[in-house]
Structure 1
Amino acid sequence: MKLTPEQARIIEMATEAMSEEQAELEGGRLINAPGVAGAGKSIIIVELARRDARRRILFLSQSRNLRDRARATLPPNVMAMTVQEAAHRYLQRLYATKLKTLPVQGSLTEQQMLSAGGAGTTQREVQRARQVLYRFYRSADRHPEPSHLPSGNRPGEEWVLAPGESRRVLRVARDVWFSQISRDPGSAPLTYAAEVKLWSQSATEQIHLEGLERSISVSPLHGAELVILEESQDADEAQLGLLSRQNIAVVMFGDAFQSLRQGNRRIQAQRHPLQERADTVYLRDSFRFGPSIASLLNALAHRAGSSRVDRCVGRGESNVYPSAHRYHWEAQQIPYTVITSSAVGLFQEALEATQRGKRIAWVDGLESYPIGLARDLAVLRRDGSDREPRADGSARSESSLADVNNLEEARARFRKRWDSTGLELCDWVEKAGRSTLELPDIIDRWRDQDQQRQEAMKDASQPPPERDVTLTTVARAKGHEWGRVAISDDCFPSALLQGRWQLAKRDRQVANRAYTAISRAQVAVAVSEAFLRYLEDQGVVLAPNSFPAGEEGVSDERVHSHFGCQRQTQLEMSPSLRRRRMALKPPRRVSNMASGHLRLKEQLEEQAESLKGHSVDELRAMLRGPARNDRRHGR
C-alpha cells in the first residue's frame, strides 16, 4: 500500500536524526498523531520497524484487544504490551521481594489503609483518602497534593472538607502512598493504579542479580529506542509525563471521539500541554470504510464538539442502513455483528435472537460478561431464592448475592455498592421475566452452547462453528472491525435523538460510544432509524452509499489481512483459550543418532586422505579393479 503524505511525514520525523543542539534542547522527538479509525496506524508501525530491523520498538496500548492485535500483526522487533503490563514487568525486578509476599491488588482494604495511615486514622478519613489517591494516581505530581482534594464541583464529589480535616485526609493519603512505594514486604501492597503511577515516576536503575556476580540495567521502557502509544486519548498525565521525559522518539496515536471513560478532558480532546508541544500530524483518511459511514461519524463528531464537519474522509466503500436492515441479512443467511452499549443490551439482543432461532457467538466468550449474575437474578425473580444448582450439581451463585432472598433485596445491595451494572440487570430480569419464566433455562442453554463452541474452536484444524449473529459491547469491540455491523438502539439514548445540535459536555461521552461502535464497520452498518430521522431533520445529508441496497460485497471474515485465517474464531474464543488454538506444534526432539550423510562424508574424506599420495595412473588402475587387470593379461 502506498503511504499517504501524512503517514510518510510521521515516519520521517520518527526516524530522522536530531542535531546535538536540538537533542539537548528538546530531548527526544515527541510526535502527536490524532487519527480516525482505519487511518493505517498499523502500516506506519510496520514501516517504522522495517526501516531498521535492529531497532527495538515498544508498542503501548490501554487495552488487551489492541495489544493482541499488535502481537499478531507487527514485526518481531516490536514489543507489544499494555501500559499495565509494561509497569508490572518493570517493577517485578525492583520490587521482587515485596511482590512475592504481597501480590498486586485491585484496591486496598480498609484495614490496610488504616494500618498505613498510622495511629488515630478514622474510617471516614480512609474513605476520603481513597478519592484523593484516585485523583493523584492519574496526575503528574510526585505525591498527593492539596490540588487532589475534591472541590465539590464535579460529579461524585458531594463532600467538601473543612480545613483541619483536609490536612488529616491529605496526611493519610500521603502515608498510604509512601507505604505503597516502600520495598519492605511489610508495607502496604501496590494496587494496579499505584503500580502504573510508580512506573511513570521511575527511571533506569541498576540491580544486582542474586547468585550472579553482575548487575543489569532495568529500564521502565524496556530498552526501547522508539515508543508507540496507542489510544493516547485514554492516557493520563502520569503516562504522558513519563514519555515526554525520554530522550527517544515517541509517537502518540489517538482519537478524541473514541474515549469511552471519564478522564482528563484536555488529554481526550488532544489539547493537553504535553500534546500541544509535540509535532502534530493529523490522519484524516480512513481506509476501513467509505464516504457514507465517514459522513455519519462526522455528524456525531460535530455534535460532540469537533470544529470540522469533514473531520473523517472515507477512502473505501460502504453502505448505511436503518436498523431493520439487519433482518434482511438474516433472511439472506448472512452473518453479522451486533454492538451494544452495555451488557444488559447484549443480553436483550441475545434473548431476541434466541427467540428468532439464531445461532449466537460472543466476542471473548460468554463468560467474559456478567452472565452468572444475570442467571442468579433471573432465578431470584422466578423462585425468590437463589438455591438452584446446575444440571451437573454445581452451584452458580454469585458471592455478591449471598444471603439475598429476592430481587428487591438484590437491588438494595447494588444501590449500597453503587453498582450500576447490577441495578440495570435487575431491571432487565424484571422486564424479561414478564415475557418468559424460562429465562434461567435460556441462560443455561447459552452457557452450554458457548462452552461447546469454545471446545470446538480449540482444534485449529477444524473450521469455526457456524454463526448467525456475533454479540459484543462497545468496550470489547474497540480495536476490531467486521464487515457488517448492526448498532443496538441502546447506543442511541435520548440525548442523541432530540434536543439542540451541540451536545452538552456531560453527553459527549454518549456520542463517543456511538462513534466507536459505528467505526467498527467496514462495508455496511445498520443504525437507529430514529437517529437517521434526527439527522435528516437537522439538515444533515449523508454521503451516498457505495453499493445498491443489499448488494454490498464482504470478503470472508474468517480470513483477515492482519490476523490471517480464522479471524472470527479467535475473537469469539475466551482470551485464555486463544493460545491453545494458535499454539505452534512442539519442536521435534533432537536425535542422538549419527547422520548417515555425515558418516558417508567422513568415509570419503578418509579415503581421499589415504589416496592423495598416488599418481594418476595408479588411481586409474585402482578404479579398473584386480579382476579386469587379470583378464587383460590373459590370466
Structure 2
Amino acid sequence: MSYDPTPEQQAIIDAARTGDDLTIMAGAGTGKTSTLKMLARDAGRRRGAYLAYNKSIATDAAKEFPSSVTCKTAHSFAYGAVGRNFAHRLNGPRVPARQAAIILGLNEPVKVGETMLAPQQLARLVSETIQRFCYSDDRQIQRMNVPLVNGLDRAGQAELAKYLVPIAQEAWDTDLTQRDGQLRFTHDCYLKMWILTDPQIHADYVLLDEAQDSNPAVAGLVSRQPAQRILVGDSSQAIYGWRGATDAMASFAGRRFHLSQSFRFGPAVAAEANKWLDVLDAPLRLTGYEQIPSRVEYAPDPDAVLCRSNGGAIVRVIDALSQGRRAALVGGGSDIRRMAEAAQRLQAGLPTDHPELFAFRTWREVQEYVEMDSTGSDLRVFVRLIDRHGSHEVMRVCDALVEERHADVIVSTAHKAKGREWGSVLIADDFPEPRAEEGEEVRVARDEAMLAYVAVTRAQRVLDRSGLAWIDRYAVGTPAPVVAKVHPPEATLSEAPDPLAEEVPPAGCSGQRPCFLCDPSVLETWPAPVTAGANRG
C-alpha cells in the first residue's frame, strides 16, 4: 500500500532530486524507511545503494525498494570483494585463548601495576584491540583501540596499551590479513581489509540508514564515496557510543531535514518523548499520530518491561517467576549467566577469564571496587544482584527463560529494545535520577537522556513511565542543562557500561564488543610473571 508523502517527506524527495548530500533527522516512528523508499522510487533509473544496519533489515529492504537500489550491509559489500577469499577461515574452528596466546608468542604472565595478566587474558585483550581497530577509521592500530580494563588505574592502562599495540599490529599484519593465518578470523576483519582499500560503491547515490549508530569505519567509507550521500537516523537515539559507534550525522555537511510526524504512537506518548528531547536540546520535537489514542498511565499488565540494566532486568524476571509467570528476556540470558559463573569462581577463590572480572582475584575485591571506586559504579547493579540472590539463583533464572512467543511478560534492557515496539510498556525503576554534590547543579547526563528517550518511544498505546517520572523536575520550562559522560582515554573499563548494564554480544560473536578468543576454562598453571614491555618470547 502506498501513501501520499507528508510535507516533510516531500521536501526530502524534492531535495534528493538536486543531487545534493542530505542529512535526515528522523524521530522515533516517523517512517524513515518509507521516506527512503519514496525517494528511491522518485529517483527513477538512477542507481542507488542502501547500506542497512543489519542483515534482516537489508533483506526486508530488498523486497520493498525498487530494483535500481542494491540493499546490503557493509559486510555484504565487503564479502563479495574480499571476504569470500577468507571463507575457509570464517568457517574454521574456534581458537581458544590459550592457543591464541601461543600463536601470538605470549608465553608468560605480565604484571601491569598490581594486576597479573595471564597469557590467555593478554590474548583476549589483543583480540579485542584488533576488533576495536576494525570498527575504527584508523589506518594503523592505536593505543585508543586497546580496551579499558576493570581494576587498572590510568597508569596501568597506559602501560598495558603501550605493551599490546605492537603485538596487535603484528597479529593484524602477519596473521589476520593472510589467507593461511591461524588466529580467529571474523567478518569484521574482511570488512576492515576492504575499507582500507578505499573502495568505491558503484551507485549514483548512497543511503546510510541508522547513521547515528554507524561505526567509524563504515561512516568513513560512506563519507569518501564520490556519489550523492544521504544519511538518515536520529541523533537522539545514538546510544551505542560506549561500544565504538559514532554519530555520523553530527559532522556530515549535507543539507539537513527533519521527520517529526510519528506514526507509532499518539500525542500523549509524543508529549512524554518531547520532554527528553527538550533535555537533549534536540533539533526536532515529535508530533503524535492523532488516530492512535495513546495514554500515559499505570499499566498493571504491560506487554513489555524496559530496564536500565541487565541486572535490573533479571530482578524483573525473578519477580515474574515468583508469581508463576513465564518470562522472556530480549537477547537471552547467556551473557548474564556467564557473568554469574565468573562471580561464582571468584567467590570460590578461583581466577576467571571473564573480560569484565579477570583483573580481580576474589569476589571481595569486586565488592570493594564497586563500593569504594567511583569508576566501578556500572558494575554495582550486578554485584548487588549476586550478593542478594546468589550466583546459583541468577543462573537458574537465566535457564528458566522462555521464548518471547511463549512468554507472559517480555523483559528487555532499553538498549536491546531499540528498534522494537509494543502496545503497552512499563519503564522499570532502575533508571537513576541524577544527583550532584552539595552546591553543584543537578544535570541529566546526555547518554542517559538518549536512553530514556529510546525507552519511552517503544510504547504504541499505553506508556507506564513510572521509572522515568522524575523527568518532570527537569523538562518543565526551559531545557535543563545536559552534561555528557566523557570517558578519558585512560579511564577504567567500568566507566563505560558493563555487560550487566548494557547490551554486550556473547563471546564468539562478531558483535560490537566480542571476546572471540576468550576461553572460560580454569587457569591450571600460572608461570612466573614478566613485566609489561619485557620480551614476550
TM-score range, shorter chain: 0.5 to 0.7
Shift of the 73–377 alpha-carbon distance from structure 1 to 2, 3 Å rule, reads: farther
2:434 aligned residue (460, 471, 495): 495
Q: Amino acid of the residue matched to residue 313 of structure 1?
A: T
Find the aligned partners of 1:374 and 1:126 in 2 and give their Cα distance. Answer: 20
Find the aligned partners of 1:337 and 1:131 in 2 and give their Cα distance. Answer: 33
Which residue matches 1:201? 196
| CA deviation map 1:39-84 (0-9, x unaligned) | 1112123324544787765433445664566467656766554444
1:30 paired to 2:21: yes
Shift of the 359–509 alpha-carbon distance from structure 1 to 2, 3 Å rule, reads: same
| Matched residue SS, 2:241 | coil
Q: Amino acid of the residue matched to residue 262 of structure 1?
A: G
Stretch moving more, 477-486 or 189-198: 189-198
Q: Which has the higher contact order (CA 8 A, sep 6+)?
A: 2
Find the aligned partners of 1:439 and 1:186 in 2 and give their Cα distance. Answer: 39
Which residue matches 1:339? 306
Which residue matches 2:503? none
Find the aligned partners of 2:478 and 2:268 in 1 and give their Cα distance. Answer: 10
**Offset, 1:363:** 3.7
1:285 paired to 2:261: yes
Q: Amino acid of the residue matched to residue 140 of structure 1?
A: D
Which residue matches 2:515? none
Find the aligned partners of 2:157 and 2:317 in 1 and give their Cα distance. Answer: 44
Mapping for residues 180-259 of structure 1, pairs under 5 Å: 180=175, 182-186=177-181, 190-202=185-197, 221=201, 226-259=205-238
| CA deviation map 1:88-122 (0-9, x unaligned) | 4542234456656688999994444448xxxxxx9
| Matched residue SS, 2:325 | coil
Which residue matches 2:413? 473
1:370 aligned residue (324, 328, 335): 335
Whether the 8 Å contact between 1:411 and 1:423 is mirrored in structure 2 is no
**Offset, 1:409:** 4.9
Stretch moving more, 56-65 or 37-46: 56-65
1:485 aligned residue (425, 448, 453): 425
Find the aligned partners of 2:247 and 2:144 in 1 and give their Cα distance. Answer: 21
Find the aligned partners of 1:341 and 1:108 in 2 and give their Cα distance. Answer: 37
**Offset, 1:291:** 2.8
Whether the 8 Å contact between 1:65 and 1:479 is mirrored in structure 2 is no
Which residue matches 1:535? 472
Whether the 8 Å contact between 1:59 and 1:79 is mirrored in structure 2 is yes
Stretch moving more, 511-520 or 419-428: 419-428
1:355 paired to 2:334: no
1:142 paired to 2:133: no
Stretch moving more, 240-249 or 82-91: 82-91
Find the aligned partners of 1:321 and 1:311 in 2 and give their Cα distance. Answer: 18
Larger radius of gyration: 1
| Matched residue SS, 1:313 | coil
Shift of the 50–188 alpha-carbon distance from structure 1 to 2, 3 Å rule, reads: same
Find the aligned partners of 1:60 and 1:370 in 2 and give their Cα distance. Answer: 29
Which residue matches 1:119? none
**Offset, 1:348:** 1.2
Q: Amino acid of the residue matched to residue 60 of structure 1?
A: L
1:176 paired to 2:202: no
Stretch moving more, 335-344 or 52-61: 52-61
Which residue matches 2:456? 518
Stretch moving more, 468-477 or 87-96: 87-96
| Matched residue SS, 2:5 | coil
TM-score norm. by structure 2 comes to 0.65
Whether the 8 Å contact between 1:66 and 1:479 is mirrored in structure 2 is no
Which residue matches 2:296? 321
Which residue matches 2:520? none
| Structure 1 unmatched runs, 5+ | 19-28, 116-121, 205-219, 386-398, 455-463, 543-635
CA RMSD of aligned residues (A): 5.1
Find the aligned partners of 2:175 and 2:368 in 1 and give their Cα distance. Answer: 31
Q: Amino acid of the residue matched to residue 267 of structure 2?
A: P
2:279 aligned residue (294, 303, 306): 303
Find the aligned partners of 2:28 and 2:442 in 1 and give their Cα distance. Answer: 23
Find the aligned partners of 1:161 and 1:429 in 2 and give their Cα distance. Answer: 31
Which residue matches 1:7? 9
| Structure 2 unmatched runs, 5+ | 107-116, 370-374, 480-537
Mapping for residues 39-188 of structure 1, pairs under 5 Å: 39-51=30-42, 57-63=48-54, 66-67=57-58, 70=61, 80-96=71-87, 99=90, 109-114=100-105, 136-144=133-141, 158-159=155-156, 171-180=166-175, 182-186=177-181
TM-score norm. by structure 1 comes to 0.56
**Offset, 1:293:** 2.1
Find the aligned partners of 1:441 and 1:98 in 2 and give their Cα distance. Answer: 36
Whether the 8 Å contact between 2:25 and 2:259 is mirrored in structure 1 is yes
| CA deviation map 1:459-479 (0-9, x unaligned) | xxxxx65x5422222232211
1:270 paired to 2:249: yes
**Offset, 1:38:** 0.9
| Matched residue SS, 1:10 | helix
| CA deviation map 1:276-303 (0-9, x unaligned) | 2x22222222222233322322222332
**Offset, 1:414:** 10
Question: Sequence identity of aligned pairs in percent?
Answer: 24
Whether the 8 Å contact between 1:67 and 1:82 is mirrored in structure 2 is yes
| Matched residue SS, 1:250 | strand
Find the aligned partners of 1:502 and 1:307 in 2 and give their Cα distance. Answer: 16
Whether the 8 Å contact between 1:62 and 1:230 is mirrored in structure 2 is yes
| Matched residue SS, 1:485 | strand
**Offset, 1:175:** 3.2
How many pairs does the alignment contain? Answer: 447
Find the aligned partners of 1:281 and 1:107 in 2 and give their Cα distance. Answer: 52
| Matched residue SS, 1:282 | strand
Whether the 8 Å contact between 1:32 and 1:252 is mirrored in structure 2 is yes
Whether the 8 Å contact between 2:97 and 2:123 is mirrored in structure 1 is no
**Offset, 1:262:** 2.5
Which residue matches 1:547? none
